[in-house]
Chain A
Amino acid sequence: GENVEQHPSTLSVQEGDSAVIKCTYSDSASNYFPWYKQELGKRPQLIIDIRSNVGEKKDQRIAVTLNKTAKHFSLHITETQPEDSAVYFCAASNQAGTALIFGKGTTLSVSS
């Protein structure tokens, strides 16, 4: 089945720096790639997503890039703030297009 690898597992940055989280997926049939943010004790919430017909998408300080050939996609957060501290999950649609398969998560810590 689909497998999603996410790196790094932990990431510490200074406020104002950029943060990059990378994911690879195994199934070339995957066509939807969302990113979720989970703050401590809360539910995961979608922050940005990208479909396979697009190479890059931006939303203010957040951007996602997709390389279909290499089967990897990345989350870029610029000008990080302490409130960006959370666990971030990437996901990819499975081969049948019936569910999302998640990476293991990245714990981002932004220190001021």
Chain B
Amino acid sequence: DGGITQSPKYLFRKEGQNVTLSCEQNLNHDAMYWYRQDPGQGLRLIYYSQIVNDFQKGDIAEGYSVSREKKESFPLTVTSAQKNPTAFYLCASSIRVGSTEAFFGQGTRLTVV
């Protein structure tokens, strides 16, 4: 499995702490995305980025922040303002935004206790 890598696979944090999830891709893709997956809820879009130094809010951006300083990297920070942060987080990338195949990372399962 190359291409798009998320780390770590499992992450535990105490309530009230910020935590950053890593996402790196070597596919030379312009667009990157963060989705949250909860049972029965499908994949919900948190943030996306079309190019370096640009990102846009998705449907559930509250309590999250991102940066896109390098083409290869799109880290997601889950802040203490996120009311229910325990979830499975998936990062994806595509050649360009929107209407092309998205390639997913293996995901990070975040548990806040």
Question: Is there a chain A Cβ closer than 8 Å to B64's Cβ?
Answer: no
Q: How many residues of A contact B (CB 8 A)?
A: 27
Residues of A contacting B98 in the complex (Cβ-Cβ under 8 angstroms): 32, 93-94, 96-100
Q: Which residues of A contact B (CB under 8 A)?
A: 1, 6, 9, 31-32, 34, 42-46, 49, 51, 89, 91, 93-94, 96-105
| Residue of B45, B90, B107 with highest tally of chain A CB at under 10 A | B45
The answer to whether B97 and A97 touch across the interface, beta carbons within 8 angstroms, is yes
The answer to whether B42 and A98 touch across the interface, beta carbons within 8 angstroms, is no
Secondary structure at the B interface, as helix, strand, loop or mixed, is: loop
Contact of A45 among B45, B58, B59, B104 (CB under 8 A): B104
How long is the Cα–Cα vector from A9 to B101 in the complex, in angstroms? 24
Question: Is there a chain A Cβ closer than 8 Å to B25's Cβ?
Answer: no
Contact of B90 among A9, A43, A104 (CB under 8 A): A43
The answer to whether A44 and B58 touch across the interface, beta carbons within 8 angstroms, is no
